[in-house]
Chains A and B, each alone.
Chain A
Amino acid sequence: MEDERTFSDICGGRLALQRRYYSPFCREFCLNCPRLSLRSLTAVTCTVWLAAYGLFTLWENSMILSAAISITLLGLLGYLHFVKIDQETLLIIDSLGIQMTSSYASGKESTTFIEMGKVKDVVINEAIYMQKVIYYLCILLKDPVEPHMISQVVPVFQVSTEHFPFSNEILYFSAYLLPLKFSRNVNIYCQSIGRYLTTNFSYFKSSPLR
């Protein structure tokens, strides 16, 4: 069973959320991020090549032009392979765990699987982004040494959260998670935790599960 809803992010791009229902204890949520826009690609390429041509007229060395071409190509390949995320998927399997997959524009997929035994709770956290307050869903992991302590906070959609901080939609989204028996309660934590997390907001992409 499939379902699709579209949202718009703070930059104005279209985002699509698909949910698939496989069985009473297995669901999948797919979030499609906005694609690479031709406009920004053309702008960057033109800037780099104009700068290279300017340097070429100054120094009359054709190596500058070849260097500019190779820099553009390598930069684009690197961006598509390491930075640009196309789709993020969340697969929840009851009594097994939660799996988060990010697929990049070049086809690379990076998967993280969190076992159910390590999940302490699923919460909605606040963060202050620029001039507004955004909410995002994250998973709290248990500390292996101290069972009562929390070792990590893992935001569910890592990159997409940057693009679309949705406040009402998150409650709609988490409503799907509630019937699944693993989520005992969805807490809305107070601002003190939100403030702690905003200082680390930019590090979310690199922090978890390494």
Chain B
Amino acid sequence: MVLKAFFPTCCASADSGLLVGRWVPEQSSAVVLAVVHFPFIPIQVKELLAQVQQASRVGMAVLGTWCHRQQEPEESLGHFLEGLGTIFSHEPWLQLCRERGSKFWSCKAIHRQVSAAPDVPSEDQVMLIFYDQRKVLLSQLHPPTVVSDHQDGDTMASTGGLAVVFDTVARSEVLFCSDQYDEGPVRLSHWQSEGVEASVLVELAKRASGPVCLLLACLLSLISAASGCRLWKLWPLPFIRSKLSTCEQLRHRLDHLTLVFSTQKAQSPAQLMRKANMLVSVLLDVALGLMLLSWLHSSNRIGQLADALVPVADHVAEELQHLLQWLMGAPAGLKMNRALDQVLGRFFLYHIHLWISYIHLMSPFIERILWHVGLSACLGLTVALSILSDIIALLTFHIYCFYVYGARLYCLKIYGLSSLWRLFRGKKWNVLRQRVDSCSYNLDQLFIGTLLFTILVFLLPTTALYYLVFTLLRLLVVTVQGLIHLLVDLVNTLPLYSLGLRLCRPYRLAAGVKFRVLEHEVGRPLRLLMQINPLPYSRVVHTYRLPSCGCHPKHSWGSLCRKLFFGELIYPWRQGGDKQD
């Protein structure tokens, strides 16, 4: 195999010295982490490497020598470096050299032990791969490969070759802690040797986060305890809570905040990203909510909204009344059964009359109610949208009632028809065996059954038409509510922090690597530049999307159509059934 030497780009202009890093024998690759400069005492270098190995659990060694001939005037240094191979014995011994007067490098890898003639060391072909140490240190590979390690620090390198390089650099952070201004025994050159990177704001935030998290965690636990107390379990409060999507959304947000401000540190990078995503999502939500609030409360919009609400409700009720009058006549030229038509029509008209009276009763209080409800937008845009969805549900409650009446009636009719149809053919449904069996009926049973069957068949168009009309209205309302819920879900689950990271610091989320062949001359070792290939946006969203509320319709289209045909009631959001405590 060709020997691959991973060399950091920051050390390309460093002074001559020793190469320090990790040797991976399974892939025949040497990952150079730093360069040790002169003067040094070999014992101290070995001590430093042992310390780093213990702290990072990565096998460190002196891999070879680095000679920067463009800066060193003397030629004798080259011979001195070759002698160092006997002090730090490593198999194979790398010798990297940057020539004077040319931008090409020379690399040699010398094997001393394994060769035919023990005096003549054999050489290997070397391939140089440059990598940006800072970016490789900070980046995370997706999918994350778990690199297991043994006790002495060597890892199973058969799984994913380049993941080993990333892992090595990431774990050796302790090696990069000292910079050139430290008065240590050994002078190193790496990406942080110009000065350790740190940010004042980040450090302050880290110090402040401890007490702030503690305080907020206590507050949130108080709120959750208050919401979980026995008072809320008195009927009908749990029923109302399960039906309102606002309570669901508030609970979801409370869960998010509890996770973000928990005092436990995040175990893995994925958990850290999730926390960051949740925090950014909550902040964006609150910011949008405050914008909405300021817009609503400016120039008396609430008053305008409240003034417009009652006429709109009246208008809707009037349209419904026209619709019912139309159904009671000859809708679309169809001939209805007059008696049943009048009964159903008058029944529904009375409901609308009740509803209108109720709205008119509430009209003086509507502005106050809307004003207070509008204040809840400061909790977040999602809460405001959930409240809007609930208001729509309350205002169209009469449509829901009509749908339920029509559906129940239609359902009864269909079941009656199917059972009597079986009787008509001389069969019946065997409940014990769950199948259709033949049965011999009496004459009276057959007579009455056939009579009822005929009545139901002739009344079917009327009931079916009412059912169809009210189901369509109900589906319209459900569609509007569904769109609002979709928007809420989008704000809840979009991983904004990850998307922002992908936009601004694309090397942090890596899908892999890419190589570029640098200028090449025949006879010289091959030089490649390894760059980070960032994760595509679709995969970022897919990997880091937050868990949603869970109130999605669980029917397929086929089962939905079947339920509609048989008149079974459709519950688009099964909130109450799933989360019963």
* Chain B count of residues within 8 A CB distance of the other chain: 24
Q: Does A116 contact B (CB under 8 A)?
A: yes
Q: A99 within 8 Å of B by Cβ?
A: yes
Given known pairs A22-B517, A91-B517, A99-B514, the reply for A115 and B162 (CB within 8 Å) is yes
Asked whether B4 is an interface residue with its Cβ less than 8 Å from the other chain, the reply is: yes
Q: Which of A95-122 contact B (CB under 8 A)?
A: 95-97, 99, 101, 111-113, 115-117
- Residues from chain B with Cβ under 8 Å of A162 in the complex: none
**Residue B286 CB within 8 A of the other chain:** no
Contacts of B520 in A (CB 8 A): 22-23
Q: B160 within 8 Å of A by Cβ? A: yes
Q: Does B478 contact A (CB under 8 A)?
A: no
Beyond A96-B515, A117-B158, whether A25 also contacts B526 by CB under 8 A is yes
Q: Which of B263-279 contact A (CB under 8 A)?
A: none
Q: Which of chain B's residues have a CB closer than 8 A to the CB of A9?
A: none
Write the chain A residue with the least CB distance to B158: A117
- B525's nearest neighbour on chain A, judged by CB, is A23
Inter-subunit contact B517/A28 (CB<8 Å):
yes
Question: Could you tell me the distance in whole angstroms from the C-beta of B197 to the nearest C-beta in chain A?
Answer: 28
Q: Which residues of B contact A26 (CB under 8 A)?
A: 127, 517, 526
Contacts of A23 in B (CB 8 A): 520, 526
A95 touches which of B1, B159, B528 (Cβ 8 Å): B1
Nearest CB of chain A from residue B227's CB, rounded to whole Å: 42
Q: Give the residue of B4, B127, B129, B512 whose beta carbon is less than 8 angstroms from that of A113.
A: B512
Bound form: Cα–Cα A210–B125 in Å: 34
Say yes or no for B539: interface residue by CB 8 A criterion: yes
Contact A210–B539 (Cβ < 8 Å): yes
B533 CB-CB contact with A under 8 Å: yes
Q: Report yes or no: A116 in contact with B161, Cβ–Cβ below 8 A.
A: yes
Is the CB of B89 closer than 8 A to any CB of chain A? no
Chain B 1-31 near chain A by CB (<8 Å), digits 1 or 0: 1101000000000000000000000011000
> Contact string, A70-90, partner B, CB cutoff 8 A, digits 1/0?
000000000000000000000
A31 close to B (CB within 8 Å): no
B160 adjacent to A115 (CB under 8 Å): yes
Residues in B neighbouring A94, C-beta threshold 8 A: 2
The residue in chain A whose Cβ has the minimal distance to the Cβ of B523 is A23
Is B486 among interface residues, defined by CB-CB distance under 8 A? no
- Assign chain A's interface to a size class: 20 to 34
In Å, the complex CA distance between A152 and B99 comes to: 45
- Taking a contact as CB atoms under 8 Å apart, the answer to whether A113 and B28 are in contact is no
- Write out the residue numbers on chain A whose beta carbons fall within 8 Å of the beta carbon of B2: 25, 94-95
Residue A93 CB within 8 A of the other chain = yes
Any A CB within 8 A of the CB of B291:
no
Partner of B528, one of A93, A115, A117, A144: A93
Residue of B4, B129, B526, B536 with most partner-chain A CB within 10 A: B526
What residues of B have a CB within 8 angstroms of the CB of A93 in the complex?
127, 515, 528
Which of the residues A22, A95, A99 comes within 8 Å of B4, measured between beta carbons? A95
| B127 in contact with A25 (CB, 8 Å) | yes
A95 contacts B515, C-beta separation under 8 Å:
no
Chain A: CB-nearest residue to B143: A144
From residue A56, how far is it (CB to closest CB) to chain B in Å? 33
B528 partner residues in chain A, CB cutoff 8 A:
93
Q: Which A residues lie within 8 Å of B162 (CB)?
A: 115
Chain A residues engaging chain B, CB cutoff 8 angstroms:
22-23, 25-26, 28, 91, 93-97, 99, 101, 111-113, 115-117, 144, 210
- A-B contact sample (20 more), CB < 8 A, given A96-B161, A113-B514: A22-B526, A23-B526, A25-B526, A26-B127, A26-B517, A26-B526, A93-B127, A93-B515, A94-B2, A95-B4, A95-B28, A96-B127, A96-B515, A99-B514, A99-B515, A111-B533, A113-B512, A115-B160, A115-B161, A210-B539
15 contacts between A and B (CB under 8 A): A22-B517, A23-B520, A91-B515, A93-B127, A94-B2, A95-B4, A95-B27, A96-B161, A96-B515, A99-B515, A101-B514, A112-B533, A113-B512, A113-B514, A115-B160
